[in-house]
Amino acid sequence: MQATRIWFDDTHIYVETDTHQQGAMPLGWFPKLQKTTMAERQEYELWADKTWIHWEKVGEDLETV
């Protein structure tokens, strides 16, 4: 399963996969991301065949599967 779309609101991160599944996680689960600006959250890279989301400046990684 690969991430195809990632977006945020003020309280959650949302991920859509190549199987069209969508999930949401509270930013409170990820204190480093919660402390960032919306612009900083958008500065991510997809790693490992799009199964990991990586924020270089923030020092955070999330697995999408």
Chain segment 16-59, per-residue pLDDT in tens: 999 999 999 999 999 999 999 999 999 999 988 888 899 999 99
Mean pLDDT on 9-22: 94
Q: What is the DSSP string of 29-53?
A: G-HHHHTS-HHHHT--EEETTTTEE
Give residue 48's pLDDT: 85
Six-digit token string for 30: 């990820």
Domains located in the chain, CATH noted: 3-59 (3.30.2020.40)
Give residue 63's pLDDT: 87
Q: Is residue 27 a contact partner of residue 15, using CB atoms and an 8 Å limit?
A: no
Residue 64 has pLDDT above 80, yes or no: no
Higher pLDDT, 39 or 1: 39
Q: What is the pTM of this model?
A: 0.84
